[in-house]
């Protein structure tokens, strides 16, 4: 990956992480957690697994950990694990339709929300948050696929 692509994607992910954290302050009252950053990372890995690999996921995860002031390595570990799963099952996922891919990435997001909730606050874990976050992730993935179309053509993702 070129340095300019890395800087652009870093800026995009940090901006989406900030937007996610602000949106989650309002959505938490409705038992929903938004994860547009995670969905974008999964979608980019699915579209181009050679550029978006586990090293890039760890890099973005560490930057998000520093930005959100959570314990160091939470997002990096979850992002890296998810990208490894997507890369390992890349050819199986390519056989799915767009609806099945949206459902699969929504399930990945619900697992991500569950693990993050367990690791951050064990006393406040709620299954309703995971269930409702699945539906929000499904519709958010449709938003992410249209958002990627606005990326510059030089990025080639």
Phi, psi of 49 (to 5 degrees): -70, -15
Residues of the chain with pLDDT below 70 are 154, 157
Specify the pTM: 0.90
Structural domain of residue 87, as residue ranges?
3-155
Beta-carbon-side half-sphere exposure of residue 146 (alpha carbons within 13 Å): 4
The domain tally of the chain equals: 1
Quick: pLDDT tens for 64-94.
999 888 888 889 999 999 999 999 999 998 8
* Separation of alpha carbons 94 and 66, rounded Å: 34
What pLDDT is recorded for position 3? 87
Residue 56's pLDDT is: 94
């Amino acid at each position: 990956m070129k340095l300019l692509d890395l800087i652009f994607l870093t800026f995009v992910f940090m901006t989406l992480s900030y937007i996610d954290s602000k949106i989650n302050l309002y959505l938490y009252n409705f038992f929903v957690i938004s994860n547009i950053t995670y969905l974008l990372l999964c979608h980019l890995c699915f579209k181009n697994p050679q550029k978006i690999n586990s090293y890039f996921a760890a890099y973005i995860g560490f930057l998000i950990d520093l930005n959100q002031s959570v314990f160091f390595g939470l997002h990096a570990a979850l992002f890296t694990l998810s990208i490894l799963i997507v890369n390992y099952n890349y050819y199986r996922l390519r056989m799915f339709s767009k609806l099945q891919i949206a459902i699969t990435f929504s399930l990945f997001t619900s697992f991500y929300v569950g693990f993050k909730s367990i690791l951050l606050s064990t006393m406040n874990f709620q299954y309703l948050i995971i269930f409702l976050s699945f539906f929000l992730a499904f519709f958010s993935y449709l938003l992410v696929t249209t958002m990627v179309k606005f990326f510059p053509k030089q990025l080639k993702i």
